Structure 1
Amino acid sequence: MTGDSLLSVQNLCVDLNTSAGRTAILRDISFEIATRQIVGVIGESGSGKTVLARTLASWLSPPLGVSAGRILFQGRDLVADPGLAKRLSGREIAYVGGNPAGALDPTMTVGAQIVEKLRAVRPGISVTDARKRAIELLSAVRIPAARQRFHEYPFQYSGGMMQRAMIVDALISDPALLIADNITQPLDVTIAAQILKLLRELANEFDTGVLFVCSSLPVACDASDRVMVLHEGQVVEQQPPTALIHQPRHAYTQGLIAELPRLWDETTTPPMHGDTRQPIMSVRGVSRSYSVRKPGGLGKVQVQAVRQVDFDVYAGDNFGVVGESGCGKSSLMRLLTGLEQPDSGEVLFEGTNVSTSSSAELRRLRRRFQLVLQDPYGSLPPQSTIGAILEEPLKIHRIGTARERRARAAEVMNEVGLSPSLYHELPTGLSAGQRQRVNVARAMILEPRLLIMDETLSALDQTEQGKMLNLFERLQAQHGFTYIFISHDLAMVRRVCSRIAVMYLGETVEVAPNRKLFFDPAHPYSRALLSAAPTLEQRRYRPEECLLEGEPPSPIELPPGCSFANRCPHAFDRCRLESPRLSSSGDGALSACFLHQPSSQRAMTAELLR
């Protein structure tokens, strides 16, 4: 239920003004937000979502500027009174972005920074009262042990906790309007679902209106009372989520819905076309811990990041690795690529132990397996041209003459859909999708047999993700690559991966064929992930029955027994005493759960792992 009118945007226009002339970025934007109402904004990259968010937060700076229209906040026109707009920004109108890790000072505790913000907007409040208010809000957003976490530094918070802390930072001034700009995009599905639930509760509890900017249509529909679709700087459609899904009016909206991957469409299951007699990569009992200082700097403790991980990846297949933030996916990636060595176990690539290879051997191996990273902006050197970036691997491996390297770079640019005219350009002017195509081309140029994709598509919007998935499918058909997809995006994994490993707190808790995992998961954690996945389909698993609350246990102080027991709705006494190991759960799948480990099946485990 919504309350009184809070924000009315009327025929808003924003232009980009340069020496070359004026370019319209937003055109005739009109919408309203009421108290306790969440309005979602969806659109592809370049549609104007972030410009709209920054305009409402009074964060626009030249060469961008409002050229027409009104922004009525509680009846007052912020366009006509820029001074009032600046005074309200950060107080009555708060903003939360999608990069919480870069938003706080790493040298100050989280609590100290929130208190500093509160005392800046309310100079009369005492330090004691400000600290009390900050701890109350940290508890309200379900930060566990809020009084203790108040004194911790940003690096000690997980991604989900950091996003909650940034919501506290925004809410500390009791704003009437909260602008949430892509706050769930960097988060995994279970944490994102918790944040969306929290956003709804906070809107009602604090009488706050919310503008929820998002790149995912299912997420926007889950979160919002009304969804506004932006395309090329214009609002093409506004409807309640149910009407938008079932009766989309505009062709652009219809296209967004049509291109969404389906989680439970029987026709989308990727075939297992790999040779199961020929693993291209085998992971056997791999574990890795990191030594970190205790809070306060007295002594060190061990963080158990990866624990006894086992799986095979078959030549010509696509293997997915999924799990929450902090489950060990990125640590595992460093072990698979030889960037780090495991404390125990082995990683075999085409029969060669990556973990014990010398530097020279590892360099030779890396001609046959390559890594494509997540960040399309930080992974490319900004001062190197596209051509130089692509030719660098050939130079490192001393392949070809200058002319041959140039020809190979042009060839691979064409294969990934990059214009040859970009050869001499810097990456600065490229879109996120173009940058990731450069990353893929750089990995492909050595003609590897295995590509390891570490959250490669998570920074892209829905439209660009679809284009990149089509590209991967075409390249695999053309070159016969094997892919490992490390991702929190279950819809992408459903579309492209034939077998999937589910990680929780450093362990593989389930390894299953695609259809088995999505239609009949054996582990309660797998069902929780699927219940939280954003989708427009009817859900097979009810979030209220499966969705997790809170954070996983600390990897420093692991509890006895199953590490999932404290969040599992089906845990019983044995789960809190013994740690289950992977064993057969039927249909070629393995799970680490006592509910699916009859004694007659345990003998099958070793055979399935071969």
Structure 2
Amino acid sequence: MSSIITAVRDRPADLPLGVPATSTGSAPPVLAVRDLAVGYRTRGGVAPAVQGVSFDVAAGEVVAVVGESGSGKTTTAQAVIGLLAGNGHIESGSVEVSGTDISGWGARRLESVRGARIGLIPQDPNNSLNPVKTIGANLAEVLQIHRYGSKAAIRARVLELLYRVGLPEPEACARQYPHELSGGMKQRVLIAGAVALEPELIIADEPTSALDVTVQRRILDLLADLQRELGTAVLLITHDLAVAADRADRILVMKDGRLVEQGPTARLLAAPATDYTRTLLGDAPSFAAPAARTATRELVERATPADHAVVVDRLVQDFPTGRRRSFRAVDDVSFTVVRGTTHALVGESGSGKTTTARTVVGLQHPSAGRITVEGHDVTALGGAALRRFRRVAQLVYQNPFSSLDPRQSVAEIVGEPLLNFAGTDRARRREVVAEAIDRVALPADVAGRRPAELSGGQRQRVAIARALVLQPRVLVLDEAVSALDVTVQAQILALLEQLQQDLGLTYLFISHDLAVVQQICDTVSVMQAGRIVEQGTTARVFGSPTHEYTAALLDAIPGHTGTTHDHHDKESAR
């Protein structure tokens, strides 16, 4: 929490709650939401999603809306821009854009507002760009809808926008398809689309939640530059309190469809008025207050080679790219994990960390090198031996919604690994499944439910229960908490620590969230372009980084201060 407050230490806190920091007096706010209520029509009637929400966004102001999944923050944004789901409806209240109430407008009339007066940056660029159209055609579509001009004028504007958002070689980029761009590049394209017609307001719905920390910083810097240049207001929807603290003039806190608190960023973070806001701040991972892991730290300090649960020695992983060429995803990687401790692999997308993790659990065969896990040479395993190895090491995937079969009940999902091993009868399977569900602190009645009936945190607990049902000694956690809200994330991290203490588990933790890594991991390897550039204890690597890439990762964390920031400030001043 203290590092979040540090991020706003220079912000003025002398404005009354709810008053925009950049209020212009007589001029109407760019956005004025009054007593907004939104419901979704179901067979059982109308299910309320947002109730009695009121707030303003002034010209040039950045307002962040924070809260857990289901709090109503995205529904509020969708109501503002007229993009509610088919069964969603504004039940009461008003939405005014520069003094004009648009809450009762029909779909066709709202199309004249979207893009021209309100721009939208969606959360997931993979689902927001048409995969069969080029980047240029995707951007041109926004301009064509609003009759921007001739084909030549539209093409010139597309190239100007691509250049403006920092994409290299705009003409070449315009000819590429979405799958040919990285996540950060695709997000820049979405920003280009949002600012194409220089709208008064941009709604940014979790615009960086799927991005690595360094890419996140570049995207947020770009958005801030464009916002200042155009004088555009920004409504930022996020579950990342550090991002809100670092970027917003004011913060709105939502819970269960209601606005529970709002105010200037500095004041709200320094002196929250509600227990819920205090809980959100308390659950946020913080660099200023690293977790004390005394017991596991001692295991690392006194470890001998016999204590290594995982040994990766000179691992190489090549992938063929055609015409007898290959791409080297992992290059000469070596590290060890002490039994009963947690080791992190961190780095940007494409650094090789997930490929390394998949190789450790035997999901792919390495091109070269050797991996041993609890004495098993993983590189030599195959067939029945590899299947038996599943009792030793298990993988917990990033997205439980896509990794759990939606047609199966929780009991079937958790018990499925047991079907691969003879000698486990139905009665014993039920018993083992019930024990696994109980161990991850889920109520017994979830056994009969399906994934769609569970929250994100519950689904991740089911994924962990499934991994534990074979009683493995090593768990590989691939971005296992990155898709979760801060409070749910804190609960899952606490569960993982408790399971490690109770069962003596060894964790290999794959993450791009360095604050979480500092909280839960004893040792860390920093990967860049398939190689390990720095490794050691988490305290040493994050406290005194020796490689410039590690320093850059740390510098990119919202609200993080330290020696790397001091160095950055000195360089910037030159």
More displaced stretch, 484-493 vs 170-179: 170-179
Aligned to 1:113: 138
Structure 1 letter corresponding to 2:245: C
2:381 & 2:570 partners in 1: Cα distance?
Answer: 42
More displaced stretch, 152-161 vs 85-94: 85-94
Change (3 A) 1:68 1:116: closer
Out of 110, 117, 120, the position equivalent to 1:92 is 117
Note if 1:447 corresponds to 2:486. no
Structure 2 letter corresponding to 1:189: V
Query: How far has the Cα of 1:269 moved from its partner?
Result: 5.1
**Is the CA contact 2:290–2:519 (under 8 Å) kept in the aligned structure 1?**
no
1:173 & 1:403 partners in 2: Cα distance?
Answer: 64
Alignment of 1:58-207 (within 5 A): 58-83=82-107, 84-122=109-147, 125-207=149-231
SS at match of 2:92: strand
Aligned to 2:533: 509
Query: How far has the Cα of 1:260 moved from its partner?
Result: 2.1
1:231 & 1:126 partners in 2: Cα distance?
Answer: 47
Alignment of 1:144-543 (within 5 A): 144-265=168-289, 268=292, 271-272=296-297, 273-274=299-300, 275-277=303-305, 278-292=307-321, 301-535=325-559, 538-542=561-565
Change (3 A) 1:71 1:46: same
Structure 1 letter corresponding to 2:90: V
What CA deviation, in whole Å up to 9, does each residue of 1:510-533 have, x standing for no partner?
011011012111111111111112
Change (3 A) 1:207 1:494: same
1:452 & 1:137 partners in 2: Cα distance?
Answer: 41
Q: Tell me the TM-score normalised to structure 2 length.
A: 0.90
Note if 1:12 corresponds to 2:41. no
More displaced stretch, 307-316 vs 165-174: 165-174
What CA deviation, in whole Å up to 9, does each residue of 1:204-231 have, x standing for no partner?
2223211100011111111211111111
**Is the CA contact 2:77–2:203 (under 8 Å) kept in the aligned structure 1?**
yes
RMSD between aligned alpha carbons? 2.3
**Is the CA contact 1:262–1:268 (under 8 Å) kept in the aligned structure 2?**
no
Structure 1 letter corresponding to 2:134: T
1:495 & 1:61 partners in 2: Cα distance?
Answer: 38
2:304 & 2:82 partners in 1: Cα distance?
Answer: 57
2:569 & 2:324 partners in 1: Cα distance?
Answer: 36
2:566 & 2:115 partners in 1: Cα distance?
Answer: 34
Query: How far has the Cα of 1:266 moved from its partner?
Result: 5.7
Aligned to 1:555: none
SS at match of 1:27: strand
More displaced stretch, 260-269 vs 196-205: 260-269
SS at match of 2:391: coil
Aligned to 1:562: none
More displaced stretch, 227-236 vs 143-152: 143-152
1:534 & 1:111 partners in 2: Cα distance?
Answer: 32
Structure 1 letter corresponding to 2:542: F
**Is the CA contact 1:7–1:73 (under 8 Å) kept in the aligned structure 2?**
yes
Change (3 A) 1:284 1:206: same
1:38 & 1:366 partners in 2: Cα distance?
Answer: 49
**Is the CA contact 1:373–1:379 (under 8 Å) kept in the aligned structure 2?**
yes
SS at match of 1:59: coil
SS at match of 1:35: coil
The sequence identity of aligned pairs, in percent, is 36
2:422 & 2:70 partners in 1: Cα distance?
Answer: 40
What CA deviation, in whole Å up to 9, does each residue of 1:572-591 have, x standing for no partner?
xxxxxxxxxxxxxxxxxxxx
Query: How far has the Cα of 1:18 moved from its partner?
Result: 2.9
2:274 & 2:60 partners in 1: Cα distance?
Answer: 28
Structure 2 letter corresponding to 1:234: R
2:132 & 2:40 partners in 1: Cα distance?
Answer: 37
Query: How far has the Cα of 1:173 moved from its partner?
Result: 3.2
1:142 & 1:547 partners in 2: Cα distance?
Answer: 25
1:232 & 1:351 partners in 2: Cα distance?
Answer: 49
Q: Tell me the TM-score normalised to structure 1 length.
A: 0.85
Total equivalences in the alignment = 544
Aligned to 2:9: none
1:134 & 1:269 partners in 2: Cα distance?
Answer: 52
SS at match of 1:327: coil
2:232 & 2:106 partners in 1: Cα distance?
Answer: 22
**Is the CA contact 1:399–1:405 (under 8 Å) kept in the aligned structure 2?**
no
Change (3 A) 1:128 1:255: same
More displaced stretch, 82-91 vs 470-479: 82-91
Structure 1 unmatched runs, 5+: 294-298, 550-568, 570-610
2:517 & 2:45 partners in 1: Cα distance?
Answer: 44
More displaced stretch, 241-250 vs 406-415: 241-250
Query: How far has the Cα of 1:146 moved from its partner?
Result: 2.6
Structure 2 letter corresponding to 1:226: R
Note if 1:35 corresponds to 2:59. yes
Query: How far has the Cα of 1:30 moved from its partner?
Result: 0.9
More displaced stretch, 129-138 vs 522-531: 129-138
1:399 & 1:246 partners in 2: Cα distance?
Answer: 58
SS at match of 2:403: coil
Query: How far has the Cα of 1:399 moved from its partner?
Result: 4.5
Change (3 A) 1:436 1:352: same
Change (3 A) 1:415 1:74: same
2:553 & 2:423 partners in 1: Cα distance?
Answer: 44
1:519 & 1:544 partners in 2: Cα distance?
Answer: 14
Change (3 A) 1:300 1:246: farther
1:324 & 1:79 partners in 2: Cα distance?
Answer: 41
Aligned to 1:584: none
More displaced stretch, 314-323 vs 24-33: 24-33
Structure 1 letter corresponding to 2:157: R
1:304 & 1:476 partners in 2: Cα distance?
Answer: 34
**Is the CA contact 1:269–1:494 (under 8 Å) kept in the aligned structure 2?**
no
